[in-house]
């Protein structure tokens, strides 16, 4: 029922607040204006018309009782002078019919009122440049034309009340909006702080405004502090775990290098290297980008540097498109790690990869496409879950991991207020991974 209204209703809090203020005021103005116009133009106009009809009735009676046309003209002139009329007897009139402008609201009531009280009235002309009411009567002495100033049958300056009401309403609306914006500003600051925290940024915020807004702001600060404290504790724990795991692995590597059988030692060393790689991936997944501060970075240069590093490593990776210019706030090492994971997956399961980047006003989009087997549509959400390996969908002969590459990229994208979408490459036919970061 209200679906069509969603396209015209403002989406911002300020716009909706202004709408809440303006709609009732405009509605009240319309109701009062219609009631006032109806009462003023209909009631007052009829009352003033009755006073005019008494004077016109006297003039017509004087003309009808005159013994001759000359005497009738003289008596009409005398009465007209006393009543401030302009008369012509006999009168020259063009088309005998009532005339008024479409927007003449008082004339809509005046003409019927005059016809109802003056049977001799033949026509009423309200369309002239002299702001007069011209009346044509049929009398015993011939057609009589009477011109009366319009102000004698219409209220003077009826727009003053409307103008005063409109000006007062506009003034009160501006004052109310200023007070309301003062209450909405703390909500906007709270929303900005929450949005920045969702993008991995930390901006200064202090609760202000009404009690409810202050309570919400204080709850946000406590929540942010708990999350940051949890991340810090997890980072410290992982640093200790990393040290504790790497120490025995190093001793094991050293012991294996001293074995007498080189072939057996080589195989065991490969196992140790795999263990170190798995530990690095686990730590990279759990740590995320907690240790890095966000900074202003040129994302196009960052993407180009990752592609160049991949090319120096012998990978068939090409930067096919780079649109936009400027900088944005992000964690460069984390974004670089996410892009390296996507490029690594592309060249591991395919023969080549193409990278494109587009920096827009609201977001950064990095796309990595490969010519590998891709991922079925119904399993793409599953591929983003931690420790998930779609063995039947990927090429196992090109190497494997623990199923954290896409998950790490997704986690980094979310920490920047973005997301990771998987699809099918329209050009290479393999997987298309689109990394979107909010700007």
pLDDT along the chain (439 residues), means of 10: 60 74 78 70 78 90 89 90 88 82 77 87 83 88 88 68 76 81 84 79 82 87 84 69 71 73 72 72 60 81 92 90 90 88 88 92 92 87 73 46 74 85 90 90
Asked if residue 86 and residue 30 are part of one domain, the reply reads: yes
Q: Judge contact between 73 and 89, C-beta under 8 A.
A: yes
Asked if residue 48 and residue 146 are part of one domain, the reply reads: yes
Asked if residue 413 and residue 385 are part of one domain, the reply reads: yes
- DSSP secondary structure letters along 368-409: EEESS----GGGHHHHTSTT---GGGS-GGG----S-HHHHH
The confidence score (pLDDT) of residue 37 equals 66
Q: Is residue 165 a part of any domain in this protein?
A: no
Taking CA atoms, 88 is separated from 123, 146, 413, in Å, by 15, 7, 91
Q: How far apart are CA 417 and CA 343, in angstroms?
A: 21
309 phi/psi in degrees, rounded to 5: -65, -40
Structure tokens given for 436: 């979107």
Q: Is residue 175 a part of any domain in this protein?
A: no
Q: Is residue 193 a part of any domain in this protein?
A: no
Asked if residue 89 and residue 33 are part of one domain, the reply reads: yes
Q: Is residue 181 a part of any domain in this protein?
A: no
Asked if residue 262 and residue 406 are part of one domain, the reply reads: no
Asked if residue 418 and residue 300 are part of one domain, the reply reads: yes
Smallest Cα–Cα separation from 167: which of 178, 175, 156? Answer: 175
The confidence score (pLDDT) of residue 306 equals 92
The confidence score (pLDDT) of residue 126 equals 86
Helices 159-198 and 13-37, axial angle in degrees (round to 10): 170
Q: What is the residue whose two structure tokens read 């044509």? A: 136
Asked if residue 144 and residue 40 are part of one domain, the reply reads: yes
Q: Is residue 111 a part of any domain in this protein?
A: yes
Asked if residue 337 and residue 273 are part of one domain, the reply reads: no
DSSP state of 7: G
Smallest Cα–Cα separation from 434: which of 336, 365, 378? Answer: 365
201 phi/psi in degrees, rounded to 5: -105, 155
Q: Judge contact between 405 and 337, C-beta under 8 A.
A: no
* 186: three-class secondary structure by DSSP: helix
Q: Is residue 187 a part of any domain in this protein?
A: no
Among 127, 159, 191, give the residue marking a domain's end: 159
Asked if residue 230 and residue 122 are part of one domain, the reply reads: no
Q: Judge contact between 436 and 365, C-beta under 8 A.
A: yes
Q: How far apart are CA 439 and CA 418, in angstroms?
A: 9
Smallest Cα–Cα separation from 368: which of 327, 417, 406? Answer: 406
Q: How far apart are CA 110 and CA 184, in angstroms?
A: 52
Q: Is residue 232 a part of any domain in this protein?
A: yes
Please give the tally of structural domains in the chain.
3
Among 125, 159, 193, give the residue marking a domain's end: 159
Among 262, 287, 312, give the residue marking a domain's end: 287
Contacts of 275 (CB under 8 A, 6+ apart): 249
Strands of the 86-88 sheet, one edge to the other = 86-88, 142-149, 132-139, 121-125
Q: Judge contact between 228 and 220, C-beta under 8 A.
A: no
Asked if residue 49 and residue 130 are part of one domain, the reply reads: yes
Q: Judge contact between 320 and 369, C-beta under 8 A.
A: no
Asked if residue 303 and residue 402 are part of one domain, the reply reads: yes
The confidence score (pLDDT) of residue 107 equals 77
Smallest Cα–Cα separation from 366: which of 415, 299, 414, 430? Answer: 299
Bridge-based pairing of strands 317-323 and 353-359 is parallel
Residue 409, strand partner residues: none
Q: Judge contact between 245 and 251, C-beta under 8 A.
A: no
Q: How far apart are CA 340 and CA 260, in angstroms?
A: 39
Q: How far apart are CA 73 and CA 79, in angstroms?
A: 10
Output the domain CATH number for residue 419: 3.30.565.10
Q: Is residue 349 a part of any domain in this protein?
A: yes
Asked if residue 332 and residue 266 are part of one domain, the reply reads: no
Q: How far apart are CA 202 and CA 224, in angstroms?
A: 9
The confidence score (pLDDT) of residue 247 equals 74
432 phi/psi in degrees, rounded to 5: -120, 115
Q: What is the residue whose two structure tokens read 């929303």? A: 191
Q: How far apart are CA 199 and CA 364, in angstroms?
A: 13
Residues spanned by the domain of 226? 206-287
């Amino acid at each position: 029922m209200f679906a069509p209204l969603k396209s015209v209703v403002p989406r911002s809090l300020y716009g909706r607040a202004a709408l809440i203020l303006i709609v009732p005021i405009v509605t009240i103005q319309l109701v009062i204006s219609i009631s006032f116009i109806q009462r003023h133009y209909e009631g007052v106009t009829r009352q003033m018309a009755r006073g005019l009809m008494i004077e016109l009735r006297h003039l017509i009676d004087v003309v009808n009782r005159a013994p001759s046309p000359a005497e009738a003209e003289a008596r009409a002139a005398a009465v007209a002078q006393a009543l401030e009329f302009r008369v012509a007897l006999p009168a020259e009139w063009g088309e005998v019919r009532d005339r008024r402008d479409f927007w003449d609201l008082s004339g809509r009531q005046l003409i019927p009122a005059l016809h109802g009280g003056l049977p001799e009235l033949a026509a009423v002309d309200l369309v002239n440049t002299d702001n007069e009411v011209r009346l044509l009567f049929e009398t015993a002495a011939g057609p009589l034309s009477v011109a009366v100033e319009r102000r004698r049958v219409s209220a003077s300056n009826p727009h003053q009340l409307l103008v005063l009401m409109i000006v007062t309403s506009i003034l009160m609306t501006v004052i109310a909006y200023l007070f309301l914006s003062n209450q909405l500003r703390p909500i906007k600051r709270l929303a900005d702080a929450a949005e920045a925290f969702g993008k991995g940024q930390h901006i200064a915020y202090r609760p202000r405004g009404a009690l409810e807004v202050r309570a919400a702001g204080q709850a946000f600060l406590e929540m942010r502090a708990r999350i940051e404290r949890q991340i810090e504790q997890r980072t410290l724990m992982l640093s200790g775990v990393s040290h504790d795991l790497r120490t025995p692995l190093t001793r094991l590597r050293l012991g294996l290098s001293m074995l007498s059988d080189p072939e057996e030692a080589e195989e065991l060393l490969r196992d140790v290297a795999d263990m170190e790689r798995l530990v690095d991936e686990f730590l990279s997944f759990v740590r995320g980008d907690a240790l890095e501060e966000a900074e202003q970075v040129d994302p196009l240069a960052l993407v180009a540097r990752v592609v160049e590093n991949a090319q120096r490593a012998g990978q068939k990776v090409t930067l096919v498109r780079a649109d936009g210019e400027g900088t944005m706030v992000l964690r460069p090492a984390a974004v670089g790690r996410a892009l390296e994971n996507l490029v690594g997956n592309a060249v591991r399961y395919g023969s080549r990869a193409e990278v494109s980047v587009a920096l827009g006003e609201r977001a950064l989009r990095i796309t990595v496409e490969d010519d590998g087997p891709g991922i079925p549509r119904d399993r793409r959400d599953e591929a983003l879950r931690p420790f998930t390996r779609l063995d039947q969908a990927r090429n196992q002969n090109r190497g494997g991991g623990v199923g954290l590459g896409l998950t790490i990229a997704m986690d980094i994208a979310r920490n920047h207020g973005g997301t990771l979408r998987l699809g099918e490459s329209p050009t290479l036919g393999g997987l298309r991974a689109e990394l979107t970061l909010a700007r």
